[in-house]
Structure 1
Amino acid sequence: MTTQQNVGIYTFQAPFGKILALKEDGIIKARSIRYARSERFQEPVPVQPSASEIIFPDKIPVCPQNLSTLLDKLIGKTDLDLFDVEESTQYVSVYRPDVFEQDEKLPVIVWIHGGSYEIGCGDLATADPTDWVKEQNIVLVSVSYRLGIFGFLGGNEKRPANLGLFDIIEALKWIKANIESFGGDTENITLFGQSSGGDAIAHLMISEGVEGLFHRVIIHSAPLGLRNERKKMSSEFLSKTEHFTAETDILEIIENYKNFVPSFLRYGLKAAMPFGVQYGFPPLCNENEVMEKWMLSAKKYDLLIGLNEDETAFYLKASDSWNKYFNQGFGKKILNKAIRVTTDIIYGKPAETFAENYAVAGGNAYIFKIHSRLINNFFGAAHAFDLPLIFGNEIAWKSSGLLKDIPWKYMQENGRKLRRLWTEFARSGKISDNSDIPDLLELRKV
């Protein structure tokens, strides 16, 4: 399976072809393997197996997107020199331990990144799985897919809906066909996603064309409270951007589409996420059929779903204007109340309802909530607080405003326990009552 071990370069022989990988930090990384190609506003076409060696690129491919000042402030600055912008952003990266038995079959965890269906990619440093892969002896695959206008806004013949969802499905087909060559178990594949990545996974569970591609799901902080009654907003957004065609310059699209977003404020909280999956278009059913479809899927997939206690503090406490008026006294109480209410509406109640309906339908479901437990932590367990716990990587998170009041030792000690628990679920679909639960985690079988 491997060659050239003396220089840290490995060759994996997969059905897809000979794939070069790099040995580094105790794991082997086969990075940025293209699984599909696409023209603008068209469905992905799977890439055919290659007769020549498949070499990892120098830079990380990323879908065209606007940089987020909020993410820069709370998670860390983006080093643009590390990325290569391209529209056809269908890539997977495979990570596995560098010490393994020839015929070993490891559980596979597929990472679907978040970012409001608008920003990010599968291979950000803040989601580097090195710690997880080494500690728990797993194979992890990260997926990059089209975002924003290119992947999650459509509804007519010229611009189909749900293209980013089709991308992810093609990635899952590639993983099913090739992951055994990396030591992964094709019969033990768990999808793991955070934020819009978790929302995408919930909808992959009821998508056409996914039969047999995965077996379990771990859903973090999915904004399921924003999923309903989006059709009118999406139709208006599509209409206002119809002048963006297959020939329009990328920069013109990226610089101008946001001009239309403020007009959606009348649609309420859902306007905070203008892009998303669209019901009534392939591979999804109509909106009024969704609940029934989820309940029918209950016996197919083991479910672990939950949230952080203070999700919307990520947005509300990062606002200078909010903090100017609501950071002390009675104003602080109002702000904290707003965080509790909006967290429950967008994340909490929908996750609880999802898990309970799933269990009623005969599904195996666990629900969790992550707390901060630190008195002086300004943001609490805000949106994305779970990411450094799951992925570790102190270097990537050292400049994070989100963790400015938190000792890294606290994150690492709790993170090791959380990674162990989530891997236990990925291996078997169960979490033992005797497992070591981190102090910041509230977990129950539904």
Structure 2
Amino acid sequence: MTFSRMNAAADWTVSGFPARLGINRRTTMSSRQRRGTGMTYMKPVATTPFGRFVGRRDGDLDVFRGVPYAQAPVGPRRFARPEPLPLSDETVDAGADGPIPPQLPSRLEIAMGPSAGTQGEDCLSLTVWAPADLGGEKVPVLVWFHGGAFMSGAGSLPWYAGAALARTGRVVVVSVNSRLGALGYLRLAGVSDGNLGLHDQRASLRWVQRCIAAFGGDPDSVCIAGQSAGAFAVLALVVSEEGRSLFRRAILQSGPYGLEPEPPARAEERGRIFADALGVRPQAEALRAVPVDRLLVSARAVAQHFARGPGDSTPPFVPCLDGDLLKAPLLEATAAGAASWCPMIVGYTREECSVFSAIDPAFKAMTRDQLRAALHAEFGDRAEALMAEYEALRGYRDAGALHADAASDRRFIAPALALARHQARAGRAAFVYQFNWPSPATDFGASHCIELPFLFGAREAWAQAPMFRGATDADYGHISRTMRAYWAGFARTGDPNAGGLLAWPRYEEPARQTMTFDRYIAPMSDPAGSTWRTLLRAS
């Protein structure tokens, strides 16, 4: 990615960017003669305080790729918070993606298939998809934060192409790359306070507030959305002090809210073990000199040190309590009303953890005694009663399946419903969904990530995903169109009910109405059943 920088520095306010001044709407077009035809084709141009970005026309959309939102976190900026871009009037080609964050292959390739992209630490960029025919109109904005256990993924991957959402909802879609792994979440005294990936994501929203009008977006109508680790980030931003000045609405898909931010001391311990694995002093200068590939490989030592047993899917680096972006565990904050200002869509898949159990062969061979020990490690004296309740309510062929369902409920489903309950009790709209479509060609069921091919409508990008095998044209088309319509409607208004769709009721007690997505799409009362309440009592 090439970006010409001038010496003039951006004037940051307390929240990170100066007021929205000096932005030209996307009215200028760059033209070029098509060789051999005599035809002229146009390239869209967006003029911002940080450069004049030349994108590409894709049918009825304008697409801008590799647009930087902060300075490259390289050299002395490795392990530092994101810094603002310098002011610039240079012209930048925004026709190609920038580097994706450095990462090892994802553990979820077994379900999602492989991903590919040029990696580099200069990864703080985003992609914008905007309707091409706005004619000065400002439209709502949907900002996407990808998942990947804070270790893998990128917003610029074809999986997350925002074209279908932009077309369906007549919205501007922004997909964000941010730092991952040790580069994004290392906490170590004198090196980093941690949560740099979250700070990157907040910086991208500050960029949206300052610049998105140049692409046709309305900075006063921003919805943020994310899946898995991206949903965790969304909720962290919702409860942060700056959240309500950056966006108006939020969509949270399969967020691991059962993963509490680590206390500073434990996060520091991870950092020291990481430095030991690298064989360097736990100091900024030494860690900045380590080649990035060694940083990636040495993270495995941290994961192994903290693993609680077979199948532990906790990543080596996770968000920590930092007194800034994360001042308290997320559900503790929402119970106290910190998210009550923000309307939400909150959801999960029916068998979130089936894919994690498929990764580890130990699950298939798990005995009842091993299951009992695993549940006891997490739930203490409640483990035996919990195990009996699961068996009575659901019935299981093997201990590994029970463990996967208990993990799904504990880490994803029960926390999502607790969040929805907090919002309902505060009188704020929460719309809850459960995604039920299972691949007929695998035993993953409705696994973690399965809703993504349907939401983004990028079927070809997901063609190699085992979890998506066997999807018929009829199932895919119906679910995909309906999901995008609901999501786009919510991004526009804070209510998914628009355009003649089946009514999606708000989540309220005691009915707990939940929209279920499968071959048939319909609201149901409390489809998760009673086990999630048992888990809340046990935890």
In structure 2, the residue matched to 1:72 is 109
Aligned-partner Cα distance in 2 for 1:324–1:268: 11
Structure 1: state its 5+ residue gaps.
none
In structure 1, the residue matched to 2:69 is 35
Taking the TM superposition and a 5 Å limit, the aligned residue runs for 1:21-60 are 21-37=55-71, 38=73, 39-56=77-94, 58-60=96-98
CA contact (8 A) 1:63 1:86 kept: yes
Taking the TM superposition and a 5 Å limit, the aligned residue runs for 1:181-192 are 181-192=214-225
Deviations 1:370-420 (A, max 9, x none): 111676652121001010011011211111111123224412221100110
Which region of structure 1 is more displaced relative to structure 2, 29-38 or 313-322? 313-322
Deviations 1:60-113 (A, max 9, x none): 311111112x4333222233xx42x22242112111122x23121211000001
CA contact (8 A) 2:442 2:466 kept: no
Give the match's secondary structure for 1:95.
Answer: strand
Which region of structure 1 is more displaced relative to structure 2, 296-305 or 43-52? 296-305
In structure 2, the residue matched to 1:135 is 168
Question: Are 2:237 and 1:200 aligned?
Answer: no
Aligned-partner Cα distance in 2 for 1:294–1:154: 27
Q: Which of structures 1 and 2 has the larger relative contact order (alpha carbons within 8 angstroms, sep 6+)?
A: 1
CA contact (8 A) 1:155 1:238 kept: yes
Aligned-partner Cα distance in 2 for 1:268–1:296: 37
CA contact (8 A) 1:190 1:216 kept: yes
In structure 1, the residue matched to 2:16 is none
Which region of structure 1 is more displaced relative to structure 2, 142-151 or 240-249? 240-249
Aligned-pair CA distance for 1:205: 1.2
Structure 2: state its 5+ residue gaps.
1-26, 32-39, 281-285, 368-394, 504-515, 527-539
Shift in CA distance, 294/352, structure 1 to aligned 2, threshold 3 Å:
same
CA contact (8 A) 1:162 1:281 kept: no
CA contact (8 A) 2:261 2:319 kept: no
Aligned-residue Cα RMSD (Å) equals 2.7
Q: TM-score, normalised by structure 2?
A: 0.75
Aligned-pair CA distance for 1:185: 1.4
Aligned-partner Cα distance in 1 for 2:168–2:102: 34
1:381 corresponds to which of 442, 446, 449: 446
Question: Are 2:201 and 1:168 aligned?
Answer: yes
2:424 corresponds to which of 344, 350, 359: 359
Shift in CA distance, 32/381, structure 1 to aligned 2, threshold 3 Å:
same
Aligned-partner Cα distance in 2 for 1:362–1:269: 39
Amino acid in structure 1 at the alignment position of 2:268: S
CA contact (8 A) 2:168 2:488 kept: no
Which region of structure 1 is more displaced relative to structure 2, 239-248 or 223-232? 223-232
CA contact (8 A) 1:88 1:146 kept: no
Give the match's secondary structure for 1:110.
Answer: strand
1:257 corresponds to which of 289, 299, 311: 299
Which region of structure 1 is more displaced relative to structure 2, 356-365 or 180-189? 356-365
Shift in CA distance, 49/417, structure 1 to aligned 2, threshold 3 Å:
same
Aligned-partner Cα distance in 1 for 2:163–2:171: 10
Taking the TM superposition and a 5 Å limit, the aligned residue runs for 1:199-218 are 199-218=232-251
Taking the TM superposition and a 5 Å limit, the aligned residue runs for 1:143-182 are 143-182=176-215
Deviations 1:121-162 (A, max 9, x none): 111111111122122211000111111101112142322211
In structure 1, the residue matched to 2:128 is 94
Aligned-partner Cα distance in 2 for 1:303–1:189: 13
In structure 2, the residue matched to 1:108 is 141
Give the match's secondary structure for 1:224.
Answer: coil
Aligned-pair CA distance for 1:177: 1.0
Aligned-partner Cα distance in 2 for 1:422–1:58: 27
Aligned-partner Cα distance in 1 for 2:465–2:105: 16
Aligned-partner Cα distance in 2 for 1:444–1:42: 47
Aligned-pair CA distance for 1:32: 1.1
Amino acid in structure 1 at the alignment position of 2:457: G
Q: TM-score, normalised by structure 1?
A: 0.90
Amino acid in structure 2 at the alignment position of 1:304: I
CA contact (8 A) 2:258 2:410 kept: yes
Aligned-pair CA distance for 1:283: 2.5
Aligned-partner Cα distance in 2 for 1:233–1:347: 23
Aligned-pair CA distance for 1:290: 6.3
Q: Identity of paired residues, percent? A: 24
CA contact (8 A) 1:2 1:12 kept: yes
Aligned-pair CA distance for 1:294: 6.0
Give the match's secondary structure for 2:484.
Answer: helix
Aligned-partner Cα distance in 1 for 2:362–2:347: 30
Aligned-pair CA distance for 1:210: 3.5
1:278 corresponds to which of 307, 313, 320: 320
1:3 corresponds to which of 29, 34, 41: 29
Aligned-pair CA distance for 1:296: 3.3
Shift in CA distance, 211/268, structure 1 to aligned 2, threshold 3 Å:
farther
Aligned-partner Cα distance in 2 for 1:58–1:424: 30
Aligned-partner Cα distance in 1 for 2:95–2:192: 30
Aligned-partner Cα distance in 2 for 1:269–1:318: 8
2:502 corresponds to which of 412, 430, 436: 436
Aligned-pair CA distance for 1:445: 11
Amino acid in structure 1 at the alignment position of 2:58: E
CA contact (8 A) 2:311 2:363 kept: no
Aligned-pair CA distance for 1:15: 3.6
Amino acid in structure 1 at the alignment position of 2:91: E
2:290 corresponds to which of 242, 245, 248: 248
Aligned-pair CA distance for 1:28: 1.3
Structure with max Cα Rg: 2
Aligned residue pairs, count: 437
Which region of structure 1 is more displaced relative to structure 2, 362-371 or 429-438? 429-438
Aligned-partner Cα distance in 2 for 1:316–1:66: 20
Aligned-pair CA distance for 1:230: 5.4
CA contact (8 A) 1:421 1:431 kept: yes
Aligned-partner Cα distance in 2 for 1:323–1:23: 50
Shift in CA distance, 228/269, structure 1 to aligned 2, threshold 3 Å:
farther
Amino acid in structure 2 at the alignment position of 1:188: S
Deviations 1:301-348 (A, max 9, x none): 11111100011112113445545789xxx9844333222211100000
2:460 corresponds to which of 388, 395, 405: 395
CA contact (8 A) 1:295 1:358 kept: no
